Amino acid sequence: MQLWEQFEFWISDLSFGSILARMLIAILAGTLLGIDRRDKNKGAGVRTHAMVCVGSALTMVTSQYVAIRFPEAGGDVFRLGAGVVSGVGFLGAGTIIVGDRNKVHGLTTAAGLWTCACIGLAIGCGFIGGTIVAMLAAFIILHNLTPLDRRLRRHARAFDLYIEFADVESAREFTHILDEQGIAYTDFVLQDSPIAGEGPVATVSVELDSYQRKKEYLKELKDADGISYFEIA
């Protein structure tokens, strides 16, 4: 324990060796998180995560340097770090894509980039204990919780649907059947198809009484007249 305390004291110093160690740890943390995203063919990979983490770490090192080197300047030494936490949201937003049939991609990658930036800030201020815990937690979430997430989605009572109708009357009939069966639904949005000559498309959030009903309900949609295509969004 004493050795760890000595290490934390050393790495929080502004010596060249401690700064170099922080940057190397930032590269390691960013690479670890980026490997999972690249392995799953996501938009932001190893280099992006590593750059975000190193940049965030440098921001905290710079804040520490300014506070020590120019104490007379005053001001909030954490302002730069706060700017990273909010500013990295713009980078994360660039990874979020609304694809075909209104399906959203990239939310996990955006959250991973934001977490990576926060880990970089912790590294930059020398909080290595917190860095190790957060880095392992983030890696476990990205690498090991995917099967659980898929299982929960598969057995969820509430889910979003994307539906392609033959015509507007078929869309009205769809909502009428929902009301008749007592199925709760919200956010029903009907719009013209992006493909010329095709019927309208809709997105809707549906909530069933139990997840056992889900398989039966999806079969009913498959056999329904007036619905040319549907999928769980």
DSSP strand E in the chain: where?
A: 97-98, 104-105, 158-165, 184-191, 201-207, 227-232
Q: Are 97 and 28 in contact (CB under 8 A)?
A: no
Domain match, 18 and 126 both: yes
Same structural domain for residues 130 and 196?
no
Of 122, 90, 141, 142, nearest to 26 (Cα)?
122
Could you tell me the two tokens for 7? 């290490």
Please indicate, yes or no, whether residues 38 and 118 belong to a single structural domain of this protein.
yes
pLDDT at 98: 57
Tell me, yes or no, whether 140 and 186 share the same domain: no
Q: What is the tens place of the pLDDT at every residue in 188-211?
A: 989 888 777 788 999 898 988 887
Counted domains in the chain: 2
**Residue 31, C-beta contacts closer than 8 angstroms, at least 6 positions apart:** 46, 49, 50
Last residue of some domain: 109, 144, 179?
144
Stated length of the chain: 233
* Angle, CA 147 vertex, CA 145 and CA 150 arms, to 5°: 110
Q: Which residue has the higher pLDDT, 134 or 149?
A: 134
Chain segment 63-87, per-residue pLDDT in tens: 888 788 777 766 666 777 778 877 7
The CATH number of whichever domain residue 180 belongs to comes to 3.30.70.260
Residues 6+ apart with CB under 8 A from 212: none
Mind listing the pLDDT tens digit for each residue in 18-64? 888 888 999 988 888 888 777 766 667 788 788 888 888 888 888 88
Tokens of 45: 């990979």
| Partners of residue 165 on adjacent β-strands | 227
Does the residue 150 lie in any domain?
no
Q: pLDDT digits over 112-122, tens only? A: 888 888 888 88
Tokens of 34: 């980026």
In the chain, the N- to C-terminal Cα span, in Å, equals 50
> What average pLDDT does range 211-225 have in this prediction?
87
Whether 105 and 174 share a structural domain: no
The alpha carbon of residue 100 and the mean position of all alpha carbons in its chain are separated, in whole angstroms, by 19
Looking at the fold, whether 192 and 218 belong to one and the same domain comes out as: yes
